[in-house]
Chains A and B, each alone.
Chain A
Amino acid sequence: MTTLSDIKPLPPDKSMRNETREDSIFKRLFLSPAVAILLLFSIFPLVWSLGVSLTTCQRTTSDQHTVVGDIFCLGNGAEFSLANFTRVPSDTRLLTAARNTLFYVVVGVTVQYFIGFGLALLLNQEIRGRAIFRLIFLLPMMVTPVAVGYAGRMMFDSGISPLAQFQRTLSTFLTNLTGQPISVAIPWLTDITTAPYTIVLLDSWQWIPFMTLLLLAGMQAIPEEIYEAARVDGASRWRILASITFPILLPISLTAILIRSLEMFKIVDVINVVTGGGPGTATESLVMYVFDTALSYGNYGYAAAIGIVLLVLVIIFATGFLAISRRITRNQLGGTS
C-alpha cells in the first residue's frame, strides 16, 4: 500500500524494446492531448489568475451577466496595481472566510474520519444484509451538494422541520418534568456559533460514506490470520483495534484525510444554499467570497487575488500534511520493526 508521499519506482518498460518510428509518433499522440489541455486550461489560467490579481480589473456595469473586458482585462482601463494584495491582511471578511474554511477542513474532516471509521468497523463485522447496509450508506455521496443544502434546510429549519418539532416536544416534556422552563431548541442555522457546525453536519452527512467505503476496503484487505493470532494471544477487542486495525489502516487513513481535506477547501454549494454565508458572514467560505466578489461586485482583480490566497493555503496545508504524515508513518514503521 502506497501513499501520495511515496514516489513509485519506474515501472518496467512494457513497450517494445526497440522504439520504432511509429512508436515514437504514437507515444506523443497518446499523451499530448491531455498535456496540452492541462497546460492550456489549468496551468495557463493559473498564471493568468496571478496576472489578473495584480490589476484593478473591474466590471463597469451592474449587470451580473455581462463581463466587460477582454481576455487581458484591459477593456475598462484596468492597470497594474498591488492594491489587491495589500488589501488582504486588513480585509476582515476575507480573514473570516479563511478561518471558516479552515474550520470546515479541520473539524469537518475529523468528524467524517471518526464516524466513517466507526461505521466501517460495524460493516466489517459478520452481519446480515451487509450489502444492503453498504448500499444505503453509500447513497448520500451521490446527491448533488445543492440538493444536500435544501434537504438540510428542511431538516434544520427552526419552524417546520421534524427536528424542531422534536426539540419543542422535548422542551415541553422537560419543562413539565422539572417545573422550570427548559428549552432545548437550537438555532441551527441562524446563530453565529452554531451555524458553522450545522454546515459541518450537512457536509458530513454527504461525505462520511467516502471515509467508510475506503476504510472498509482497507479493513477487508487485512488478513484474518493476524486477528486470529492476536486472539490466541488473548488480546482484547480494544487492544486489537488499537494495535492492529488502526496502525495497518494508518497510511490509507492519511491519504483519505488528505483527499477529503483538499476537497473541503473547495466547499461552496452547500453553504450557498443553506445559509448564503450568513448569518452575517459567519459561514462564508473562501470560494464563496471569490464568486461573490466576482459576480456581485464585478471586482475580478480582487476575486483572482482571493483565489490565489486560497491556493496558497491549500499548498501550505498539503505540504505540511505530507511532511507530518511521512513522519508518522516512518515512526510507526520504526516502532513495529
Chain B
Amino acid sequence: MAAITENDGLMRAADGTPLKQALARATRMNKARAFLLTTPLLAFILVTFILPIGMMLFRSIEAPEVSEAFPKTVAILEQWDGVGQPSEEIYASLAAEMADPENRFKLGKAGTRLNYIESGFRSLMNKTVRRIKRVDAGPYKEAFIKIDKRWGETDTWKIIRLAGDPYTYRAYLNALDLTQAPDGNIVAQPEIKQIYVTLFERTIFVSIGVTIACIALAYPISYLLATLPSGTSNLLMIFVLLPFWTSLLVRTTSWIVLLQTNGVINDILVSLGIVGTDDRIQMIYNMTGTFIAMTHILLPFMVLPLYSVMKTIPRDHMRAARSLGANPAIAFGRIYLPQTIPGVGAGSILVFILAIGYYITPALVGGQDGQLISNIIEYHMKKSLNWSLAAALGGILLAGVLALYWLYNRIVGISNMKLG
C-alpha cells in the first residue's frame, strides 16, 4: 500500500484513491467485520429471547376478545350516548351475536375478559347466552331484562363498551391496584382486591433487606480474603465458590433441612435447652425462611466484586493513616471504606437485580407470607390464566430491572462484569 504523491498534492494509496478515503474505507470494513462476528448471536438472542418477551409483554395491552365476539354490537355501542338504557337495536344485535353458532368459542373468552373488569360478568354472560337462544323474536330489550335485570342497567353496557376496545392499559391499572369505573374514570380497586402494590412493596423491601444483609456479611470476609496471604485466602475462597457453584435447588433444600421445625437447628437448640421441645421455632415456610435462604444464595455475588475491589487497595494506605496518628476506626472510615464503595455498589445492584426477580426460593420456602412478585406472576400465568395481568405485572417488574441494569452499566460498565 505504498502511498504515492500525485501532482494535485493529495496522498494516494496504491490503487490511486486518496489516502483519506482509503483509510475511511478500511475502517468501515473493519467495523463491518467486527459487527458481522456478533450477528449470529445477536440474531439468535433477538429471535429466541427478546422477541418472545416483547410479544408476551404485548399481551398486557391486548384485549381483543369482546370486539371479536361482538363486532357489530361494539360498533353500534360506540354511537350510544351512555344515558339510560341503550336502544332496542343494540339488544337485538347482541342477541344475534350470542346466538350465532360460529361465535360459540368466542363467547366464553369474552365473558372472561368482561369478568376482569366486573366480577360476576362471566356468569351473567353464560346465563344469558343459554337463555337468549330460545327467544325467537323481539322485543329483545324486555327479554334481556327478564333474564337478568342487570341488562337494564346503564353500567353493564358501559362496561361492554369499555371492553370493546381491543387495546387497553387496564391490566396495568389492575397491577397497580386501580381499576376503571364503567364511566372510564380511574378509581382504586375495592380494598379486598388490593394486593399487588403490597406485593411490589414487599418484594422491594425484601430485596433491600437481602442486599443489606449481603453487604454486612460479605464485607468482613472479603476484607479477610483480600488481606490474608494468597495461599490461605485461596483455600478460604472455596467457602465462597462452592456455594456459588452448587445448584440453587440443593441450597434451598438444605435450608429446609436445617430450618424445619424438626430440623437440625431446632434440634440443636432443643438439646442445648435454649428452646423447649414443644415450642420449636417456626423458621421456614414464612418470610424468615425466604430471607435467610435468599441471603445465603446471593452472598457470593456480593463477595466476588467486593473482594476484587479490596484486592487492589494498597496496604500502605492504612499504615500511612495509622502512622499519621489516626486511630483504627478513623483510618478505616476515612481511608479504607471510601475506596471500597465501587465494589459495594457493583455487588449491591447485582444482588438487588437478582433478588427482585426471585422465584424458586420464595416458592419453596416462602409459605404464605414469603411470596414475592414473581410468584404471583407465575400464579396468573399457570393457575388463574389471567395472562394480561401476568404480562402487566411482568412489564412493571422488567421496567424496574432494566432501570437498574442501566444504572449498573453507568456505574460499573457491563463490559467490566466478571465472574468467579
Is the A/B pair a real complex?
no
- Interface positions of B (Cβ within 8 A of A): none
User: Which residues of chain A have a CB within 8 Å of any CB of chain B?
Assistant: none
